[in-house]
Amino acid sequence: MSIERALNKRSNSACELCAATEKLSVYEVAPVTEVEEKNCILTCETCKTALNSLEDLDENHWRCLNDSMWSEFPAVQVTVWRLLYRLKYQKAAWANDLIDMIYLEEANIEWAELTGDHIDPSTKIIHKDCNGNILNNGDSVVLIQDLKVKGGGFTAKRGEGVHRISLVHDNANHIEGRVGDQHIVILTQYVKKTK
């Protein structure tokens, strides 16, 4: 059974965040190493657009989180938790009340914290590629020049792809990823985000 079919069955063909029934698609809850039903949710176009944007959220639309926060599925819980923190930092007072009520298992809290949505944006470290695009855990990038890998004994070639990167949490200029069979640290100024 395809992931989309499984999610449609699980959600009764409705967005797992706002319950809309039009223009539904699969949203992968970052970071994703393998695309599986357990780390995906079914979302409408409105919710998916907001999830992928760094713009302020429409508070009125997201009042639906009051219901979706009680979902039994960890991927939905993690997404709701992240959205509530984003709303909290937009000064949506009601989001604080829901944060106090939502319950996540310890492993799901760790998963939710990986994107840093719970950190005040004014103090958050933002990773950007050479063009100023914001990088997230799990993104794919391409090297924009040859890089001599210290201690690796090889040169990573320009145009080489690095998939499913990890952000270095305390340094906005560093990401980690695999080049060939080596796990290396790469300076963000030498990579370009791919779609």
Q: What is the mean pLDDT of residues 135-156?
A: 87
Report helix, strand or coil for 20.
coil
Fold of 141-193: SH3 type barrels. (2.30.30)
In the chain, the largest separation of any two C-alpha atoms, in whole Å, equals 55
Per-residue pLDDT tens over the stretch 72-90:
999 999 999 999 999 999 9
Query: What pTM, to 2 d.p., does this model score?
Result: 0.68
CATH 2.30.30-classified regions of the chain? 141-193
pLDDT for 111 equals 94
Evaluate whether 158 touches 130 at the Cβ level (below 8 Å). no
Task: Name the least confident of 7-21, 43-57, 120-134, 150-164.
Answer: 120-134
Cβ atoms of 98 and 65 closer than 8 Å: yes
Condensed to tens digits (0 to 9), the pLDDT of residues 2-23 reads 999 999 999 999 999 999 999 9
Taking phi first (over 0 means left), then psi (-120 to 50 degrees means alpha), and beta for anything else, what does residue 144 get?
A: alpha
In the chain, % helix, strand, coil (3-state, to 5) comes to 30, 20, 50
